[in-house]
A = this chain, B = another copy of it.
Amino acid sequence: MDIPRYMQDLGRQARAASRLMAAASSEAKNTALRTIAAKIRARREDLLAANARDLEQARTDGLAPAMLDRLTLTAKSIESMAAGLEQIATLPDPVGEITNVKRRPSGIQVGHMRVPLGVIGIIYEARPNVTADAAGLCLKSGNAAILRGGKEALLCNQAIAACVREGLEEAGLPATGVQVVETTDRAAVGELITMPQFVDVIVPRGGKGLIERISRDARVPVIKHLDGNCHVYLDDEADAAKALPIVENSKTQRYGTCNTAESLLVARSRAAELLPVMGAMLAGKGVEMRGCPESLAILAEAAIPAQFLKTATEADWSEEYLAPIIAVKIVTGLDEAIAHINHYSSMHTDSIVTENYTKAMRFLREVDSASVMVNASTRFADGFEYGLGAEIGISTDKIHARGPVGLEGLTSQKWIVFGNGEVRK
């Protein structure tokens, strides 16, 4: 197979389709979403069979159990794919929204119109649910999409792609509005990320290694999400009754998510009071604490079992554990907390616990992260919790969309001018 040529063909078709997708009515897009959902439900047995063959091959190839788990479709996960598409159909259509129109002294009226980005390339691992989800989000936001999933999921991705294609066609939209790359050759990714004439933005979803590689080699903008090294800072004026549930929820509700707290900072004036409480809760849940010497002394004094206490190294301040481990550091106060976070954080999500208004506002303003919170769990940094209705990913970039990216993040705003024959003086 001539990969560059194959990918150029997909790109050309996507670019052509993107014009029709951009002009599509909300009704046509919602019909497509509901039709795709119906087809996915109706073909459950076919999807399970395709997935079984993918799984068989993946086991032969020795895929790791966690990867096999993500690759596996069940009746429940198929229903949730279909329901997800129906949910996207209920969201407001972001395309065409006109805002901020102002009359200028020249007589023209200038404003913004929200428009799709054009063609979106999505690169992800062997998770078939992402195929349906990404297709749905791109479709609803009026974009054309080229989806490149992990090679282990090829057969079930093709089966899902058939549902998408037919759903688009039955709604009067171009079948090439969403295309799945049907080669497992890695060179296809290299082509996809270097066709600025056909692809407007790349959204990689997967591990840090994948995302770093793509960002390095891409010749088009990448909406990317790297680490989530999130902090909770317990300020001198923290309310202890809020501190405990916030630390507990931020760290222990789920260990493997990017909005899980990985570092706990405590103001020195409150360390002797607050650390023993936090330490007892964390140890009770089996969370290892990697502390600065001062915090370790307090925790040991409070009889936190030694098996949960370890001395932090410099590397711990930057670590995204995704595990029952938390770095713990005593700081002099707000200034040191902000400086520490801005130095070590991955600019994902950081939260302060304080009753002091001015310090809360300074933290919000000065911490340079995608989500900055006062008296709330870092676990709230999520498209659904923020009310986006859907999420294509979480961006740790500063350009374009920051933090959870929903339908709006797959659009941009152009300028529109309503004139009446005006010319420039």
Contacts and interface: CB of A to CB of B under 8 A. Distances in A.
Interface string A351-390: 1000000000010111011111111110111100111000
A419 interface: yes
Contact of A415 (B106, B239, B381, B398): B381
A245 interface: yes
Interface stretch (A37-45, A79-87, A166-174, A399-407): A399-407
Nearest to A102: B387
Interface in A101-119: 102, 104, 106, 108, 110, 113, 115, 117-118
A351 B415 CA distance: 12
Interface stretch (A46-54, A148-156, A246-254, A297-305): A246-254
A397 interface: yes
A423 B371 contact: no
A342 B414 CA distance: 14
A402 B414 contact: yes
25 contacts: A22-B365, A23-B362, A23-B365, A106-B385, A108-B380, A110-B380, A113-B365, A118-B398, A201-B398, A221-B221, A221-B397, A221-B399, A242-B420, A246-B423, A249-B423, A372-B414, A372-B415, A374-B416, A374-B419, A375-B418, A380-B419, A399-B412, A400-B400, A403-B415, A404-B415
B110 A417 contact: no
A399 B249 CA distance: 35
B117 A417 contact: no
A414 B200 CA distance: 23
A9 to B, nearest CB: 18
A375 B423 CA distance: 9
B96 A372 contact: no
A219 interface: yes
A421 B386 contact: no
Given A376-B108, A385-B424, A402 B413 contact: yes
A216 interface: yes
Contacts of A368: 19, 22, 115, 118, 414
A241 interface: yes
Interface string A319-344: 00000000000000000000100100
A241 B386 CA distance: 51
A121 to B, nearest CB: 13
A198 to B, nearest CB: 13
Given A253-B424, A372-B414, A422-B377, A19 B104 contact: no
A241 B420 CA distance: 11
A150 to B, nearest CB: 26
Given A106-B385, A117-B399, A242-B421, 10 more contacts: A19-B339, A104-B387, A113-B365, A376-B422, A377-B419, A377-B424, A399-B400, A399-B412, A402-B412, A403-B415
A417 B200 CA distance: 31
Contacts of A351: 417, 419
Contacts of A96: 365
Given A365-B23, A379-B424, A414 B419 contact: no
Among A216, A249, A373, chain B packs the most CB atoms within 10 A around the CB of A373
Contacts of A250: 423
A381 B419 CA distance: 12
Can you list the 4 inter-chain pairs with the closest CB atoms, starting with the nearest?
A376-B419, A249-B423, A242-B421, A373-B417
Interface string A182-226: 000000000000000000110000000000000010010100000
B423 A366 contact: no
Contact of A200 (B106, B200, B366, B398): B398
Contacts of A414: 368-372, 402-403
A412 B369 CA distance: 11
Contacts of A399: 117, 200-201, 221, 399-400, 412
A413 B382 CA distance: 16
A380 B379 CA distance: 46
A376 B23 contact: no
